[in-house]
Amino acid sequence: MLQKKICMVGAFATGKTSLVARYVQGIYSDKYQTTVGVKIDKKSIQIEGQDLNLILWDIHGEDEFQKIRMSYLRGSAAYILVVDGTRRDTLRTAFQLQTRVEETIGKVPFITIFNKYDQSQAWEIGEEDLEELSQRQWVYCMGSARTGLGVEECFITLAQLMI
């Protein structure tokens, strides 16, 4: 079976761990627990008749004290940029991270997920932001680890981009 390493990257508290928990175990907790270091998870899927083992690297969030070590991304087949849709500044962090990741591992498929889409009253992502992503030709989707909306689709879309 093909093994594919996928890294979750983004600013702190964007919901990377929750997205993995929702996708792999189908669970969600409202309590925010920060990730320090890396958590490894695995999910076996079948895409277009091909069996894949997705090895998910849930990497701690980027903040002013804790920078992501780009060496963690070595050997990645793809990555997911996680943005908190209720914190627009996390989109800027995603832009910066994408540049650094590409400098380290080159061009590999990636997808941006705007998490917390269930919190529409606090949503800070505007049309102009999505327009910018389109101009950059980034693949993106809306999702919610809490409700499960768009989570599976995000991983499946990325897997399709990989094979």
Partner 1 sequence: MLNLPQPIVTFLCSTVVRDRFPAYLQVSQEGELLAFGGDCDRYGLSPLHIHQLVDEQIDFLAGLLPLQDPAMHIPFLEIEEDIIAEVHLFTAQNEDWVIFFDATTENEKHVLIQQKVNDLSLLRRKQARSLGQWMHPETVAENILDIQPAGEQKLLTILVIKCCNIAGLEDQTMAVNPLKALDTYLSTISPLVLDEGGIIHQSIGNSIVAVFGAVPSTREAPKQAIAASMRILDACEKHTSSHPSSKCALVVTTGVVTVGLLQVGFGKTLTVMGHPMDVAVNLNETSQPGTLIIDKQTFDRLDQRQKYFLATSQSGSTMAGLPSLYSYCKR
In the complex, which residues of this chain contact partner 1 (CB under 8 A)? 3-5, 12-13, 32-34, 36-40, 42, 53, 55, 57, 60-61, 63, 65-66, 71-72, 74-77, 87-89, 92, 96, 99
Report the nearest approach of partner 1 to the CB of residue 124 (Å): 10
* Dist. CA 137–CA 139, nearest whole Å: 7
Q: Which two tokens stand for residue 100?
A: 């650094």
3-state secondary structure 8-35: EEEECCCCHHHHHHHHHHCCCCCCCCCC
Least distance to partner 1 from the beta carbon of 101, Å?
14
Q: Which is nearer to partner 1, 17 or 150 (CB)?
A: 17
Please, what is the minimum distance in Å from the beta carbon of residue 63 to partner 1?
7
Residue with Cβ nearer partner 1 (104 or 153): 104
Coil vs helix vs strand at 134: helix
Per the structure block, which two tokens stand in for 16? 């990377």
